[in-house]
Chains A and B, each alone.
Chain A
Amino acid sequence: MNKDIAGTTVDVNEEGYLTDMSQWNDSIAAAIATEEGIPSLTDKHREVLQYLRQKQSAGEALTIRSLGKSGVVTTKELYDLFPGGPLKKSSKIAGIPKPVGCI
Chain B
Amino acid sequence: MSKHLLILGGGTAGTMMANHLQKRLPKVDWRISVVDRSDKHLYQPGFLFLPFGIYEEKTIIRQTVDFLPKNVEFVQAEVDKIEPETHSVALQDGRKLAYDLLIVATGCHTAPEETPGMLGPKWRDNIHDFYTLDGARALREKLAAWPGGRLVIHINEMPIKCPVAPLEFSFLSDTFFRKKGMRDKVNLTYVTPLSGAFTKPKASKKLSHLLGDKGIELVTDFTAEKIDQERNLLVCYDGREVPYDLLVTTPTNMGDAAIQRSALGDDLNFMPTHKHTLQSLQHPDVFVIGDATNLLASKAGSVAHFESETLADNIMRYLKGEPLKEEFDGHSNCFIESGNGKALLIDFSYEHEPHEGPFPFSFGPMRLLEESRINHWGKHAFRWVYWNILLKAWPLPGISRNKKAPINP
Interface on chain B toward A: helix, strand, loop, or mixed SS?
A: loop
Please name all residues of chain A whose beta carbon is closer than 8 Å to the beta carbon of B223 when the two chains form the complex.
Answer: 64, 75, 79, 86
Contact among A66, A79, A103 for B198, CB-based, below 8 A? A103
Taking a contact as CB atoms under 8 Å apart, the answer to whether B296 and A59 are in contact is yes
Task: Give 9 nearest A-B pairs by CB, closest first.
Answer: A85-B221, A100-B199, A103-B203, A79-B238, A88-B195, A79-B237, A102-B298, A101-B199, A14-B201
- Considering only CB atoms, which chain A residue lies closest to B348 in the complex? A102
Q: Is A37 an interface residue (CB 8 A)?
A: no
Taking a contact as CB atoms under 8 Å apart, the answer to whether B199 and A103 are in contact is yes
Please name all residues of chain A whose beta carbon is closer than 8 Å to the beta carbon of B194 when the two chains form the complex.
Answer: 87, 99-101
Shortest CB distance B333–A (Å): 10
Chain A CB within 10 Å, residue with most, of B193, B236, B334:
B193
Shortest CB distance B82–A (Å): 22
Interface size on A, residues (CB 8 A): 28
Give A66 to B159 CA distance when docked, in angstroms. Answer: 12
Give A13 to B200 CA distance when docked, in angstroms. Answer: 11
Q: Is A83 an interface residue (CB 8 A)?
A: yes
Please name all residues of chain B whose beta carbon is closer than 8 Å to the beta carbon of A65 when the two chains form the complex.
Answer: 157, 252, 267-268
Q: Is A43 an interface residue (CB 8 A)?
A: no
Residues 183-236 of B contacting A (Cβ, < 8 Å): 192-195, 198-201, 203, 207, 220-221, 223, 225, 236
1/0 contact trace for A77-103 toward B, CB 8 Å? Answer: 011100111111000000000111111
Contact among B163, B221, B237, B266 for A101, CB-based, below 8 A? B163
Contact among B158, B200, B237 for A103, CB-based, below 8 A? B200
Give A76 to B226 CA distance when docked, in angstroms. Answer: 12
- 7 pairs from A and B in contact (CB 8 Å cutoff): A65-B157, A76-B225, A85-B220, A101-B158, A101-B192, A102-B332, A102-B354
